[in-house]
């Protein structure tokens, strides 16, 4: 019989998202705990750093000046938990 699994402190990769996606100008990070500090890095598909963000909880992220395309947003919270979401800029 498999051992029981405690999922209460685990984040799922799908728990983090941005809205709207595709985006123009701004997205809101959804899925962070209220009051949780986080650091985010927006990178192009080539790995190039495009922008860094700092925020608390569900925060808006400015995409002003970011060229159209597909990007990867990696977010690390105060517990060093890292989550990634794709962002499409139009």
Q: What is the pLDDT of residues 25-58, one digit of tens each?
A: 999 989 888 888 999 999 999 999 999 999 998 9
- Res. 89: pLDDT tops 90: yes
Residue at 7 is within a domain: no
Residue at 2 is within a domain: no
Distance CA 42, CA 66 (A): 10
> Taking residues 56-62, what's their average pLDDT?
91
Residue at 3 is within a domain: no
Domain that holds residue 45: 17-89
Q: For residue 21, give both structure tokens.
A: 């996606």
> Taking residues 47-72, what's their average pLDDT?
95
Residue at 61 is within a domain: yes
Distance CA 56, CA 8 (A): 21
Q: Please give the model's pTM, rounded to 2 decimal places.
A: 0.79
Q: How many domains does the chain have?
A: 1
Residue at 4 is within a domain: no
């Amino acid at each position: 019989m498999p051992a029981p699994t405690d999922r209460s402190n685990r984040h799922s990769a799908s728990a983090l998202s941005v809205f709207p996606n595709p985006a123009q100008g701004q997205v809101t990070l959804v899925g962070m705990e209220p009051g949780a500090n986080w650091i985010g890095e927006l990178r192009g598909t080539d790995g190039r750093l495009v922008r860094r963000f700092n925020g608390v909880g569900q925060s808006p992220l400015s995409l002003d000046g970011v060229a159209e395309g597909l990007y990867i947003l990696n977010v690390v919270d105060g517990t060093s938990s890292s989550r990634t979401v794709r962002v499409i800029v139009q």
